Structure 1
Amino acid sequence: MTIPDLECTDLTKRFGDTSAVENVSFEVPPGSFFSILGPSGCGKTTIMRMIAGFLAPTSGDIRIKGRSVLDAPPNKRPVNMVFQHLALFPMMNIADNIGYGLRRQGVSKPEITRKVGEVLERIGLPDIGERKVDELSGGQKQRVAIARCMVLEPDVLLLDEPLGALDLKLREHMKIELKALQSAFDTTFVYITHDQSEALVMSDNIAVMNAGRFEQIGSARDLYYRPETPFVASFVGDSNRWRGRVVSVSGDNLRLRSESGLDLCGNSHGRPVSDGDEAEIFVRPEAIRLGRGEADIAHFDNRLSGRVTSLLFNGAASRILLRPDSGGEEIEVALPQSGEFAHLSRGDTVHVGWSSDQGNCFATETG
C-alpha cells in the first residue's frame, strides 16, 4: 500500500465561534498535483497555513509520508511554500535567493553552488544566477520562487495562488509551465486557487471547497461532467440553470417543470430525487445543439426554439444568448467555430436541443 505524501484527517479550525474549516479529510498521492478550489473566504488558505505549521488546527491530524507533523514547527516540516507575491529578496541576486535556505541550514558554499546550478538547469534558466530580481520577467520570477523551494527538496510544495498577480496571458502560459515543472521535479504540489481554469488545467485531483467544507474531490473531468452538488455544478465551468418541481421520475431520468413553465428532461445520475421534489437542473452550454428547424433537433429529449439576443465572442469559447419563444430565462449556447451557425446574428431564430443525460439534476435542500 502506497503511503500518501500528505494526509489530512478530520481537519478543523475555529476562530472563536467561527468555523473556518470543518472536518476536512483528504489524501494526496506521491508525485501528484492536488488543487483546492473555492471562492475567497471558503477556508483554502487556512488549510494551507495549517499544513505549513503557521496555524494549529483545533482538531484533526496532518500526516506527511505517514508521520504526524502537528508537533513540528514550520521550519521542521518537510514542506515549503510559494506565496502569491513570491517574497523574493530584491537586494540579492538570483543565485543567492535560491541558495538562501541552504545557507540557513549550514550547507557548505561549494554544495550550495552545485545545488543552485542544478535547480537553475531544471527550471530552464541556467544563466541567470548573477541577475537581480527586477531584471526578470514575471514568469521567470515564478520559476525562481519555485526553484528556491525545490532546492531544499521538500516532500510537499504548497502554492498559495502564485499566479494571482500576473496578467491574463502570462497566467495562461504559467499554468502549462507549472504543470511541466511539477512533472520535472516529481514532487507533490498542493495548490490553492479561486480560478477554476488553473485547477482544471493543472491538477490530477481537485477538491472543491465551500464554506469551510469540501463539496467534492475528483478529477477535472469528474467535477465538470459529473458534479455531486449544486455548488460544484455552478462553480466549476459555465452552466444553464433551471429551478422548478419534479413532475415525473423513471429511474434516474426525470421531468421538471421550471418556474418559468418550461418542461425539461434531466438525469439524477444516482442522486435521490423524487416526484414532487423541488429541484434544479444544470446544462453545459456546449451540450446544447443548434438546428435550423424542428427536424434537426427531433431526436433530443429537450427541444426549444428561440431568438438570439446577444453574441458573446471569445474565440473558441464564444457563446450566444437565446430567448426561448415559450418564455423563461435566456439560455447560453456554445457558438460553433465553423459551419452554418458560426455566423449567427442577433435576432436570428434557431432551434436547440439536448439529451436528458446532459442535464444534471439535484433535489433542492430545504429546512
Structure 2
Amino acid sequence: MTQPDLACTHLTKRFGDTTAVDDVSFEVPPGSFFSILGPSGCGKTTIMRMIAGFLAPSDGDIRIKGRSVLDVPPNKRPVNMVFQHLALFPMMNIADNIGYGLRRKGLPKPEITAKVGEVLERIGLPDIGTRRVEELSGGQKQRVAIARCMVLEPDVLLLDEPLGALDLKLREHMKIELKALQAAFDTTFVYITHDQSEALVMSDTVAVMNAGRFEQMGAARDLYYRPETAFVAGFVGDSNRWRGRVESVDGDALRLRSDSGLALLGSRHGRALSDGTTADIYVRPEAIRLGHTPGDVAHFDNRLSGTVTSLLFNGAASRILMRPDQGSEEIEVALPQSGEFAHLERGSAVHVGWSSDQGNCFAAEAG
C-alpha cells in the first residue's frame, strides 16, 4: 500500500471551551489534489495552520510521508504555503522573489539561478525573471507565488484560499491553471476554500467541513450526486428543498407531504426514515425537466404544473423560478440550452417533472 504524503489522525484543536476542529482524520495520497470545503468559521483554516506548524493540535497526530511533525517547527517542515494575498516582495524582481527561500538556505548563486530558471519554465513564464511584481497580471502573480513555494521542493503545498482576491473571470481561469500546475509539478496540494466551484473543478478528493467536523469526503461527483448529509446536500451546488412529513416508505422510495401540501416522491438512499418522520427532500434544478404540456412530463414520478415567476439569465447556467399551482414554494429549474423555451416570460404556464431517485431525503434537522 502506498504511504500517504499527509495523514492527520484524530486531529483536534480547542480554544478554551470552543472546539474548532473536532476529531478529524484523513489521508492524502502522493501527487493528489485534496480540498477542504466549508463555510467561514468551520475550522478549515485551523487545520491548515496546524499542518503548517503555526498552531499545535490539542490532540491527534500529523504525519508527512510517515513521519510525525508535531515536534518539527514550521520552518523545518517539508511543506510550503500560498496565502490569499500571495505576499510577494515588491522591492525584489521575480527571480529574486522565487529564489528568496533558496538564499535563506544558503545555496550557491549558480544553483539558485538554475533552479529559478527551471521553475519559471515549468510555470510557463520563462522570460519574466527581471520584471517587477507590479508589472505582472493577477494570474502571473499567482503562478509566481506557487513557483516560489515549489522551488523549495516541498512534500505538500498548502493553499489558503489563494483565488479569493481575484476577479471572477480570472478566478475561473486560474482554477484550470492551478489544476494544470499541480499535475505539472506532481506535488500534493492541500487546498482550502469556501467556494464549491473551486473545490469541485480542481480536486481529486473533497472533504466538506462543518462545525469542526468532516461531513463527507470523496470525489466531487459523489458529493454532488450522492450527498450523505443534509448539510452537504444544501451546501454543495444548488438544490430545491421541501420539508414535510413522510407518509409512506417502500424500500428506499418514500412519499412525503410537504408543509404546503405537495405530495412528493423521493429516495432515502439507505437512511433511516419511517412513516411520520419530519424530513427534507433536496432536488437539483438540473434534475427537473421542463415541458410545454402535461404529456411532456407524464413519465416522471413527480409532476407539477405552475407559472413562471422569474427568469434568471446566466448563459449556460440560466434558470427559471416557477410557482406550482398547488403549494407555495418557488421551484428553481434549469433552462435547457436547446432554445425551445426561449419564449418563456413571467406568467408563462409550464409543466415540470423529475424522477423520485433525484430526490435525496434526510431527516429534518432542527432550525
- Secondary structure of the 1:260 match is coil
Query: For residues 26 and 271 of structure 1, what CA distance do their matches in structure 2 show?
Result: 24
Counterpart amino acid of 1:191? Y
Q: Is the 8 A contact 1:262 1:328 kept in 2?
A: no
Q: Is the 8 A contact 1:43 1:212 kept in 2?
A: yes
Change over 3 Å in CA distance of 1:362–1:323 after alignment to 2: same
Query: For residues 364 and 62 of structure 2, what CA distance do their matches in structure 1 show?
Result: 34
Counterpart of 2:37 in structure 1 is 37
Tell me the number of residue pairs that the alignment of Structure 1 and Structure 2 aligns. 367
Counterpart amino acid of 2:346? R
Cα deviations by residue, 1:216-255 (Å, 9 ceiling, x for unpaired): 0011100100000010000000000000110000000000
Counterpart of 2:164 in structure 1 is 164
Counterpart amino acid of 1:332? E
* Identity among equivalent pairs (%): 86
Deviation (angstroms), 1:297: 1.1
TM-score normalised by L of structure 1 = 0.99
Q: Is the 8 A contact 1:336 1:342 kept in 2?
A: no
Q: What does 1:305-316 align with in structure 2 at a 5 Å threshold? A: 305-316=305-316
Structure 2: 5+ residue runs without aligned partners? none
Counterpart of 1:252 in structure 2 is 252
Q: What does 1:50-199 align with in structure 2 at a 5 Å threshold? A: 50-199=50-199
Query: For residues 189 and 340 of structure 2, what CA distance do their matches in structure 1 show?
Result: 45
Deviation (angstroms), 1:327: 2.2
Structure 1: 5+ residue runs without aligned partners? none
Counterpart amino acid of 2:294? E
Deviation (angstroms), 1:366: 5.9
- Secondary structure of the 2:57 match is coil
Cα deviations by residue, 1:201-228 (Å, 9 ceiling, x for unpaired): 0000000001111100011100100000
Counterpart of 1:270 in structure 2 is 270
Query: For residues 336 and 147 of structure 2, what CA distance do their matches in structure 1 show?
Result: 42
- Secondary structure of the 2:113 match is helix
Change over 3 Å in CA distance of 1:294–1:217 after alignment to 2: same
Query: For residues 131 and 210 of structure 1, what CA distance do their matches in structure 2 show?
Result: 43
Query: For residues 92 and 339 of structure 2, what CA distance do their matches in structure 1 show?
Result: 56
Counterpart amino acid of 1:103? R
- Secondary structure of the 2:144 match is helix
Deviation (angstroms), 1:343: 3.0
- Secondary structure of the 2:329 match is coil
- Secondary structure of the 1:173 match is helix
Counterpart of 2:338 in structure 1 is 338
- Secondary structure of the 1:124 match is coil
Change over 3 Å in CA distance of 1:196–1:57 after alignment to 2: same
- Secondary structure of the 1:223 match is helix
Cα deviations by residue, 1:87-146 (Å, 9 ceiling, x for unpaired): 000000000000000011111100000000000000000000001101100000000000
Query: For residues 366 and 57 of structure 2, what CA distance do their matches in structure 1 show?
Result: 31
TM-score normalised by L of structure 2 = 0.99
- Secondary structure of the 1:84 match is coil
Counterpart of 1:26 in structure 2 is 26
Cα deviations by residue, 1:160-189 (Å, 9 ceiling, x for unpaired): 000000000000000000000000000000
Query: For residues 98 and 75 of structure 1, what CA distance do their matches in structure 2 show?
Result: 17
Counterpart amino acid of 1:40? S
Counterpart of 2:352 in structure 1 is 352
- Secondary structure of the 1:85 match is coil
